[in-house]
Structure 1
Amino acid sequence: MTQLEAARQGIVTDLMRQAAAAEGIDAEILRARMAEGTAIICHNVKRKNGSPLAVGKGLRTKINANIGTSKDDTSIDKELEKARVAVRAGADAIMDLSTGGPVDEIRAAIIAETGVCIGSVPLYQAAVDKVLRQKKALVDMTVDDIFNGVIKHLDDGVDFITVHCGVTRAVVERMKNEGRLMDVVSRGGSFTVEWMAHNNAENPLYEYFDRLLEIVKPYDATLSLGDGFRPGCLADATDRAQIHELIVLGELTQRAQEAGVQVMIEGPGHVPLNQIEANITLQKRLCHGAPFYVLGPLVTDIAPGYDHITCAIGGTLAAAAGADFLCYVTPSEHLRLPTVEDVHEGVMACRIAAHAADIVKGVPGAIDKDIAMARCRKNLDWEGQFNLAIDPDKARRLRAESGVDEEHGACTMCGEFCAYQVMSDGSRRRKAAAG
């Protein structure tokens, strides 16, 4: 019995209790939301070192960090360090997107290294095996190659897999008829589009969706239905191809849930601020409230080197409107493979967005730290401020670099004219005069 099947039968499982405890909510609340498909627990039954991660309605907004090699950088040690840094910075999940070097060993090492939720894109496995190992063309992948990649990742213990099931021939035709500035920017989406064109065939992950469900169900892993037609620039946002694919994903969501398989939906992409809320509303309506996992969204196309900021802006609005899971973007987006430092910056920016949105959504306890921080600032309690900070190490470092000692109450922004200091000194004088 899968977690979804148990939830629909009114059974609260041990995993539900663990995940609910981490959220600070009653396990029955989580069970009920899972039963209606608005919340999920990401946890592959093969994982021995992983904790269940709850994602969805009324829960804390989660953060994912993408890592992984390319043919230009195949270091396992470097990717493991990125995984460690992402977890220390507060990422709830890590996606291994490796396409270069010993990808099987890299994935196994990342899974063994951390107890956080792990995601992947199995289609990359099939592509790497075909191109790099068999020295054939990507479009020569067979249907069995594609499904064997899924099995391999699930056997390794991956908790959720991105599968581009909504990339169909009909959606491709719709994209061509409307015209797009950047066509397909999803790597998995582009693989699928080219495979369909070369083989004059439908997407196997769509055509044989029931086979996919039969494979996934015994592992009780989560299907993350990928957005192969996500907009790669503002000009392509919310077009017919994107929405057609979303309609397909809504239909597949129902089929998966009926089969007892948990689902979340992936979303855009590059989206102007004034379209973000509409995108969230459409997804929630078309996919019956299934958890929504968004990449960004990025609210401008002209900030290379600062895309962690454009991501945080869009992610805040998306999560406040109902997105449940944010995929970080690093300063290196569109430029290079991220460094360890980029990973840290990306997670921190995304955590700020998630927390700001959780305050808006009224997630229990979300605003408590902000209130505590305000008290510490009023009292010039620097140690308290550091402990409450989203990045304590950076906060400590910046204050130390200013040259003030701990006996000095104010910071160098205002010095003796610090508003808190002025008010505090005035209060003491008034009390002394009254005494």
Structure 2
Amino acid sequence: MEAAKKGIITPEMEIVAAKEGLDFKKLMALVACGQVAIPANNRHHALSAEGVGTGLKTKVNVNLGVSGDCKDYTLELEKVKLALNHGVEAIMDLSNYGKTNTFRKQLIERSPAMIGTVPMYDAIGYLEKDLRSITPQDFMRVVRAHAEEGVDFMTIHAGINKRTIEAFKRAGRRTNIVSRGGSLLFAWMEMTGNENPFYEYYDDFLAILREFDVTISLGDALRPGCIDDSSDASQLSELIEMGHLTKRAWAKDVQVMVEGPGHMSINEIAANMVFQKKLCHNAPFYVLGPLVTDVAPGYDHITAAIGGAIAAANGADFLCYVTPAEHLRLPDINDVKEGIIATKIAAHAADIAKGIPKARDWDNKMSDARRKIDWDTMFELAIDGEKAEAYYESTPTEEKHSCSMCGKMCAMRTTNMILEGQTVTFHSEE
């Protein structure tokens, strides 16, 4: 950010400008004013930089990590490989069991995608202390450790403070606090009587992030955990605090992303995007869903994709995937794939709606292939070509230039034949 303010083009800016097909001077101006963030820790040498923010393609994040009930590092690395093969731009390591840096170091060493973490999750295991005994300086040690390892962005729940907790207690929410990091900080504050250390010592945390060029992702500790809690005083009071924290970070040349709502009915999503962009000075918005209904466990990758598409079409810049296992268990590798595909569909649909340059070209190429009944090209262009081809091959057809849905009555085939001056027949003549 400092380089952009001084008119200096960094290698990361050049990479992002080339990926986005954007003039590098325009990109530099967006980075300088904070509307675009390029999370790129100066120790993450495998990184292929990505930009998040105004005028850029909607990015997708995948959450992974080891937990007490699933300690298999090999399985998590298989999920990493799957995510990278599907072209996700970010991976968040949410490990919360044991010495989590074992997995994180491998992740940073091999991943071209940007890596994010939530230091609050790691604090208890890393420090081997009970929550109540952890000091602000202890939290700072964990943040520094993650920065030194090469993490590109960190979720820091600095917006939950004594003022926002007062609003939360007055609100009488149906699902209270559903953010894991937010609930831990709330418990720490209530047990110790102290202010949120990430808020009280915010400038000290910013100094660490600035040293390693880590982007701060301002975590929404008070995000709604059900549609009945959305757009309430708790959520909005924290958003106001995050707007103030955004400007303080920018003043220290620390890039910012702001995290958004978790559950929200469809009719509120567009307005919430306007609130965030207004209150947080057009900082990039990182949306956790939003899930548009609470009654679809097992299908929450779909409820999140619906909300994510609407959110991104109305200004959100970064979508966190949700898997079918959400609210039920840690996702297996198939859940991860389903979550990635659903979220990539949402992101691409939003990019078309936002008029992102060349976003529609992909769909036009698919439509051309469909008109020509060119199956190989269709499978090549598909978001999940492997699944598309498997579906096609599962019910063999009499003619290659059709599928089992319509057979010889394929509309494309019929129209093509007539336009080429051929006669359409369905029965062989005796």
TM-score range for the pair, normalised by the shorter chain length: over 0.9
Question: 1:352 and 2:342 equivalent?
Answer: no
Partner residue of 2:407 out of 411, 415, 430: 415
Secondary structure in structure 1 of the residue aligned to 2:257: strand
Aligned match of 2:142? 149
Q: How far, CA to CA, are the matches of 2:133 and 2:294 in structure 1? A: 34
Distance in 2, Cα, partners of 1:94 & 1:402: 37
Cα offset for 1:364?
Answer: 0.6
Could you tell which deviates more after superposition, 224-233 or 83-92?
Answer: 83-92
- Structure 2 distance, partners of 1:178, 1:142, is 29
Aligned positions, number: 424
2:3 to 3, 6, 25: 6
| Correspondence for 1:276 among 266, 269, 281 | 269
Is contact 2:98–2:126 with CA below 8 Å preserved after alignment? no
Hey, what does 1:16 align to over in structure 2? 13
Indicate if the aligned counterparts of 1:80 and 1:113 stay in contact, CA closer than 8 A. Answer: no
- The correspondence of residues 315-326 of structure 1 with structure 2, limited to 5 A, is 315-326=308-319
SS at match of 1:146: helix
Shift of 1:429: 3.4
d(CA) in 2 for partners of 1:119 and 1:35?
22
How far does residue 430 in structure 1 lie from its aligned partner after superposition?
5.5
Q: SS of the counterpart of 2:286?
A: strand
| C-alpha separation in 2, matches of 1:272 and 1:315 | 12
- Contact (CA 8 Å) 2:379, 2:385: kept in 1 or not? yes
Whichever residue aligns with residue 142 of structure 1, its letter is T
Deviation at 1:170, TM superposition (A): 1.2
Alignment-derived partner of residue 116 in structure 1: 113
- Cα separation, 2, equivalents of 1:153 and 1:288: 28
| Counterpart in the other structure of 1:68 | 65
Q: Offset at 1:137?
A: 2.2
Tell me the residue number matched to 1:107. Answer: 104
Tell which deviates more after alignment, 17-26 or 148-157: 17-26
Query: Quick one: structure 1 residues 430 and 340, their matched pair in 2 at CA, closer, same or farther if it must change by over 3 Å?
Result: closer
Equivalent position SS for 1:298: coil
2:208 corresponds to which of 203, 215, 222: 215
SS at structure 2 position matched to 1:367: helix
| Structure 1 gap segments, 5+ residues each | none
Distance in 2 between residues matched to 1:431 and 1:393, nearest whole Å: 35
Aligned residue in 2 for 1:231: 224
Q: SS state of the match for residue 305, structure 1?
A: coil
Aligned-pair CA distance for 1:311 = 0.6
Compute the displacement of 1:431 (Å): 9.1
1:98 aligns with 95
Letter in 2 for 1:33: L
* Helix, strand or coil at the partner of 2:7: coil
The answer to whether the aligner puts 1:56 opposite 2:57 as a matched pair is no
Report the residue type matching 2:201 in the other structure: Y
Cα deviation digits, residues 38-89 of structure 1 (max 9, x gap): 1011100011111211110000000000001110111110110111111112
Q: Are residue 139 (structure 1) and residue 136 (structure 2) matched?
A: no
Aligned-partner Cα distance in 2 for 1:80–1:249: 33
The one-character-per-residue Cα deviations of 1:273-324 (angstroms, maximum 9, x if unpaired) are 0000111100000010000000111000011000000011000000000000
Alignment map for 1:282-297 (pairs within 5 Å): 282-297=275-290
User: Once structures 1 and 2 are overlaid, which stretch shifts more, 8-17 or 341-350?
Assistant: 8-17
One of 224, 247, 260 as aligned partner of 2:253: 260
Of 395-404 and 193-202, deviating more is 395-404
Deviation of 1:421 (Å): 1.1
Aligned equivalents of 2:423 and 2:393: distance in 1? 33
Report the alpha carbon displacement of residue 8 of structure 1 after superposing the two structures with TM.
1.1
1:384 to partner: Cα distance: 1.1
On the 8 A contact 1:90/1:347 being kept in 2, the answer is no
Q: Distance in 1 between matches of 2:198 and 2:232?
A: 23
Counterpart of 2:323, as a letter, is: T
CA distance in 2: counterparts of 1:23 and 1:319, whole angstroms:
17
SS of residue matched to 1:371:
helix
Partner letter of residue 429 of structure 1?
Answer: G
Report the equivalent of 2:427: none
* TM-score when normalising by structure 2: 0.97
Q: Distance in 1 between matches of 2:388 and 2:98?
A: 38
Q: Deviations over 1:316-366 (max 9, x none)?
A: 000000000000000000000000111111011000000000001110100
Q: Percent identity?
A: 48
Q: Output the amino acid matched with 2:287.
A: V
Partners in 2 of 1:118 and 1:29 — Cα distance? 25
Superimposed CA distance per residue, residues 161-208 of structure 1 (whole angstroms, 9 cap, x where no aligned partner): 000000101111111112101110000000100000011000010011
Which residue identity is paired with 2:416? S
